[in-house]
Chains A and B, each alone.
Chain A
Amino acid sequence: MAVRGKDRIRAKLQDGDTLVRILLAHPMHTGRGKDMQNELVPAEFIQDIRCWRNNKEVLTIKCGTATSRNPFFAFQLKGGVQGDVITLRWVDNTGAKGRVETEVQ
């Protein structure tokens, strides 16, 4: 496995709403790509991403293989105050998991 960077998540207030930006560190192999030795790289991609604000689930994202490497997502949440906790968990097809958490700035 390649060396993993860090999953990043930023959330900040913008005109009274919360802007959330997510950058996950994941190779997102589709199972169709080849490596230097011309061998197929087995599929390894994030399938399920869930997002919570203060323990309330707000967004579920299911990804196929067509999600780009190091997936990026941005969306807004209605309202919100400083200090809200935004949590994100992901699971990939090999069962690997990740969790990131941030406070709204």
Chain B
Amino acid sequence: MNNWNKLRRKSINAIMLTLTGLCTLFAAGTLVYILGYLFVHGAGSLNWSFFTQLPRPVGESGGGMANAIIGSAKLLLLAACIGVPIGFMGGVYLAEFGGTTFSFVVRYVTDLLNGVPSIVMGIFAYTLIVLPRRPGFSTFAGGVALGVMMIPIAIRSSEEFLRGVPLSLREGAMALGASKSKAIWTVVVPAAKAGLVTGIMLNLARVAGETAPLLFTSFGNQFWSPGWKQPTAALPEMIFKYAVAPYDDWHQQAWSAGFVLLTLVLAVNVIARMILAKRGPAAR
């Protein structure tokens, strides 16, 4: 009787442990499969003209997505110009100056803003910029949408990395007669520099893949988009448009674009995580 019970418990043990292992295998396997499939399909159809040529009209084969690559770069630049300074300064406030009540409110609202679906952010930018025609569908509107999305993550990551700097460094600087702000700019921020920069990189990599907020802000464009006031193509938005279109040629282009986008995003992530890992778990 006792033996039978023991056997039962042991076999449940073995079965369940195996099952959890299988769950892990599934999750990790998915990534490997995604990567493999994209590499095979995307890299195969990738060629030089993808990076240098404009999209061709339907029916003509060839062409590329040069305008979308430049468009994405411009959008990200604008987003960084909005999101990074505000997020960084906000993080400095929370880590260095913040009291209790207001900081709590800011943290809470930041987390809420971070949880807002990206498509809702798109509506926000639309009602703010596109609807009143200042200046309508444009690189500017898309950049603002992405920039606002960067702020909450930038705040939380810079706060975290600044908090990781030991208190003794601040005390040392202030004991030498530095004012609080001087101590922050010359001692604390440089000490947290690697973390801050990787935080920005991860943040950019995240918004680089955002499609939903661009659909009704930067809108898309088959041609070059000079300046900031015209609709522009962007890589993720092109992937969407080309993937749902019924043309085989476009599907191939979508795979190439997906391959390029995913390679960039994952490369940034891997590099950033390696930098963070080198700095030890405390820095995360």
Q: Do A and B bind each other?
A: no
Interface residues of B (CB under 8 A from A): none
Interface residues of A (CB under 8 A from B): none
